[in-house]
Amino acid sequence: MQHPAEHSPLGKSSAYVATYSPEQLFPIPRAPKWAELGLSAATLPYRGVDIWNCYELSWLLPSGKPVVAIGEFAIPADSPNIIESKSFKLYLNSLNQSIFASQEALLEVMQRDLSAAAGKLVGVRLRGLDEVTAEGVAMLPGRCVDELDVAIEHYDAPRPELLRRDASRQVEECLHSHLLKSNCPVTGQPDWGSVVVDYSGPALLPESLLAYLVSFRQHADFHEQCVERIFLDLQRLLQPRRLTVYARYVRRGGLDINPYRSTEAFTPDNRRLVRQ
């Protein structure tokens, strides 16, 4: 079956256009992947956002002087479309030799273009290098499960049957792992990430979480859909009082993608990790 991104620039030779070109953006509908998970736009069991950070953002002032900044883009998790990452990169590159009267003018243009591609209002913020430097590098909350002594056998596809709970114990707990890896569904290139599971409910056996996360290692899917699958598998197992799952992915092409899914209202912590 052809992947929805097959017609995108992903995995193909592309000319890098250096002047403003919003037609570079390639939206991919979320609906087919939601349907694979038994979901629809009307039945999403989470709220969330996909935070993209761009470290290769530049444009020209009216004087011709270039400016660099770090872009932060917040795409709602219930938007009709995701934006294919290479097309996003090509769009951002098209700003390199484009003149904007002010930073506010650039923000307005980017919000308009990205919102049109996503099908819902996208939050856009430009950040100075000093500001991001001052934030430093963050550490993930909770307990890391990566040092647990676990025998691993499955790498080919997500294995929710590996997950185990202890229904006799109710906990408030946060676990994380840096061993999440999946592959791009079009190019086969590896996507590396760190994942956080913060929940309240029956105790999740941490060894089972680690084995489950490693089972994604050869799985082909986009970042957003991997996080949604993890969220749904844990929700089905635990039936928790609350659940938040998010992943911080290593950047490729100057972009990192960080999907957040939660049963609760939340404010994402967008400080970068050491691998970001």
Q: What is the CA radius of gyration of the chain?
A: 19
Q: Active-site residue among 184, 198, 221, 226?
A: 184
Chain centroid to Cα 226, Å, comes to 9
* Residue matched to tokens 């470290």: 55
- 144 tagged catalytic: no
10 Å CB burial of residue 104 (0-12, 13-18, 19+) is exposed
Q: Active-site residue among 50, 113, 191, 198?
A: 191
Tell me which DSSP letter residue 141 carries.
Answer: S
What is the rounded CA–CA span in Å between residue 267 and residue 185? Answer: 29
Nearest to 17 by CA among 69, 92, 112, 70: 92
Residue partners of 143: CB distance under 8 A and separation at least 6: 173, 174, 175, 176, 206
Contact criterion met (CB below 8 Å) for 240 and 201: yes
Neighbours of 138 (CB within 10 A): 14
What is the rounded CA–CA span in Å between residue 22 and residue 116? Answer: 10
- 54 tagged catalytic: no
Tokens at 209, concatenated = 């979480």
Task: Give the residue numbers marked as catalytic.
Answer: 184, 191
